[in-house]
Amino acid sequence: MTKKRSKDQYIFQVQEENELLLFLLQKLDQGRNRTKSMLARGQVLVSDQVETQFNRKLVPGVTVTILKHAAPNNKNKGIAILYEDDDMIVINKDAGLLSIASSKEKQQTAYHQLMEHVKMQHPKNRVFIVHRLDRDTSGVMVFAKTEKVKRSLQDHWKQVVQKRTYVAVVEGHITKQQQTLVSWLKETKTHKMYASAKDNGGQKAITHIKKLDANKKYTLLELELDTGRKNQIRVQMEQMNTPVVGDKKYGAATNLIGRLALHANVLAFKHPITNKTLEFKVEVPNAFYELVKG
């Protein structure tokens, strides 16, 4: 039996009749439950077609492909699954999609879609919120699949996260190539955050800023978070009088691309169970670069 390996998949060629689950158990060094989970997630292809039935009959000559990540699910709207295992799901969330339900929207959320996704694998499966992205912010998000993993990630977030960067376009021309913002954030009764350069008893917020590009009207920034406060980047950009493009709530006057120009593009962290470092990077929307041309 031949086996080929690439970065994202294994390919096996079947030499004799067999059932799919038995075939996978023979070839993969892992347990029965984990193998069934891979089938349910759409990580197994037979002759280049996703196969979820564990008792599928295999005949000599067909190929069985094991994907590192689940095959894309076209039912999901506004999310793309970047990684999934028995402990967590990592997604790329589109701008405009809520992370979790609000008083006005219950169904069209990343949380609801992922809950439906895992329940298709088993009715008792669940997902748990680890952190959030604002509705109009796009990029990398992590959801836990067990309460234990959720608590582990949240309780040790500062220790496990090795890199968390955003890219934003802000109004105005920033001259400094690099700087670090330190602020204290508080929330008003109307749920708007505000920042103070001095300790006012609020939550301390630290953001490292790197200038990537600029023109006379806009500046493209990379922002690395030391802390993860509510609306942290948006509030600190307003504090600098360079609000994020499209952020009317925090002082923006323009919205040429029809969305908040804020994108969570890199997240690297230690897996709470395996202790392996996982890093995810998603491309910055082209519209951000268009704003700073010329």
Catalytic residue list: 134
**Tokens of residue 62, six digits:** 């067909």
Spell 158-189 as b/e; 16+ CB within 10 A means b.
eebbeebbbbbbbbeebeeeeeebebbbeeee
- Residue-by-residue DSSP string for 212-239: EEE-SSEEEEEEEESS--TTHHHHHHHH
Nearest to 62 by CA among 46, 43, 51: 46
In sequence order, what are the residues at sequence separation of 6 or more whose Cβ sits closer than 8 angstroms to the Cβ of residue 270?
160, 162, 276, 277, 278
C-alpha 12 chain-centroid distance: 31
